[in-house]
A and B are shown apart, each in its own frame.
Chain A
Amino acid sequence: MSRQSASAYDPLTILLHWLIAAIILGQIVLGFVMTRPSIDPALQFSLFQWHKSFGMLVLVLAALRLLHSLIRVRVAPAPGASRLEYMAARFVHAALLALALVVPFAGWMIASVSPLNIPTFAFNLVVVPDLPFAKSDFAEDVWTTVHTVLAYTMLALVLLHSGAALYHHYRRHDGVLQRMLRLRRSPAETPVTEVPTKEL
C-alpha cells in the first residue's frame, strides 16, 4: 500500500457502509416480495416505485462511497491475517462496492428499456430520466435477469462478508468488527490489534 494505513475507519465510511448495507438488505427483501405472482397489483405498483426510489438512493450513496474510498486513508489489514486472507477480503470488499453500483444501475436499465415506460419518480421528489436505450420486452427481460442474478450474488457476498466479520469477532478477537461499529471511545487512538474489551 502506498498510502499510510489508518487504524480506524473514518465516520463517513462507517455511515455509508451501514446505510448502504441496510438499504440493500431491504431492497433484496422488497425485490423478492414485490415480484411474487400473487401480490395485489396496486400494492405491487407501489412497492416497485419504492424499490426504484431506494435503488437510486443506493446508487448515489455507493458512488459517494467509491469516490470517498479513492481518497481516504486505507485501514490496515486485520492483525494476524495472512496475505491470502487480506487479498480475499480486499476482493470481496471491492466486489460488494462494485455490485452496490452495478445492481442499481441494472435496475435503472430495466426501468429505462421497459415498454411499460413507467417514470422513475424517486421518492415522489425527483424525476430520474431513462437511460438512452431502445425499449423492448426482450431488453427488459435481459436486464431483469442481470439485475436479479447480480442482486442474489451480492446477497451471497454479504453473507460471506458478514460471516467473516463474525469470525473475526468471535474467533479471532481481533477488533475487525468493532472498527466498523466504532464502539471504542477513541477509535483513532486505539490499535486494532488490541483485544476487544468488555465494555463493547
Chain B
Amino acid sequence: MTRMPVVFAALLLSTALPTTGHSATNIPSLDEAAGRYAVTPSSDIDFAIDQIGGGGIRGKFGTFSGTFDLKPGDLAHSMVNFTLKPASVSTGQGRIDAFLRSAAVFDAADYNVISFKSDRVVQTGPETARVSGILTAKGRSNPESFDVKLANWNGKAIGFDVTGKILRSHYAMDVGEPIYSNVVQFNMMIEGRRA
C-alpha cells in the first residue's frame, strides 16, 4: 500500500497538446497548462489487493497532499511530489484498517508519511505519460512508475487518471502472502489546482 503520487500532469500536457485535440478531453495547450499545481482533497487515492479465490481488499487514503510542475515543452523536467498519511487508510472494515496501520503493514506510528518524488517523466501517447520516481514507505525507498492519463482540464484545474502496481514486499509489507497478492494496484484520480 504504498501510494504514490502522481502527478504527472505534465506529461500529458506536453504530449497531448502538440498532437491533436481529437479526444473528448479538452486538451490544454502547452502555454495554457504550464505551471505549478497543488493536489486537491477531491482527488481519489484508491487501491486494491487481490486475494486467493477471488475478491480482495479495496481501500483508499483520505489524507494526502502534493504538488506538480507542468512543463509542457520540457516534459522530462516536469516534477511531481506527493505525500500521504498511511493512518488515513480506509477499507470499510475497521479491523482491517487497524491491521494496515499496525506494525504488520504501514507501521503508521513510526512511519507516518508515505512519499513519492518523481525523477523522470516520459510521454507515452498523445494524452499519456509515465512518471518514474522514488517511493518511500516504512523506511524503504524504491524506484516506481505510474501511468498517467489526462482526464480533464478547465483552465484552472487539471485532472489525471493515474495507475500503477506496487510490490508491497519491497516495503516490508508482505504480510499475508500468498493469501493476499504481493501486488497493490493503485487507481487514482489526481486533480490539481494552480498553486
Binding site for B on A (CB under 8 A): 40-42, 45-46, 49, 115-119, 121, 124, 127, 129
Contact = CB atoms under 8 A, between A and B. Distances in A.
Contact of B99 (A41, A115, A127, A129): A41
A129 B52 CA distance: 11
22 contacts: A40-B103, A40-B104, A41-B99, A41-B103, A41-B104, A41-B175, A42-B102, A42-B104, A42-B175, A45-B104, A45-B176, A46-B175, A49-B179, A115-B93, A116-B93, A117-B55, A118-B51, A119-B53, A121-B52, A121-B53, A121-B178, A124-B178
Interface string B52-89: 11010000000000000000000000000000000000
Contacts of A115: 93
A116 B180 CA distance: 13
Contacts of B53: 119, 121, 127, 129
A45 B175 contact: yes
A52 B95 CA distance: 19
A45 B99 contact: yes
B50 to A, nearest CB: 11
Contact of A41 (B52, B93, B102): B102
A34 to B, nearest CB: 14
Contacts of B195: none
B96 interface: yes
Contacts of B55: 117
A45 B99 CA distance: 9
A124 B177 CA distance: 9
A41 B107 CA distance: 11
Interface string B96-117: 1001001110000000000000
A56 to B, nearest CB: 14
Nearest to A49: B179
A45 B104 CA distance: 9
Given A45-B104, A116-B95, A118-B51, 5 more contacts: A42-B102, A119-B51, A124-B179, A127-B52, A127-B53
Interface string B23-63: 00000000000000000000000000001110100000000
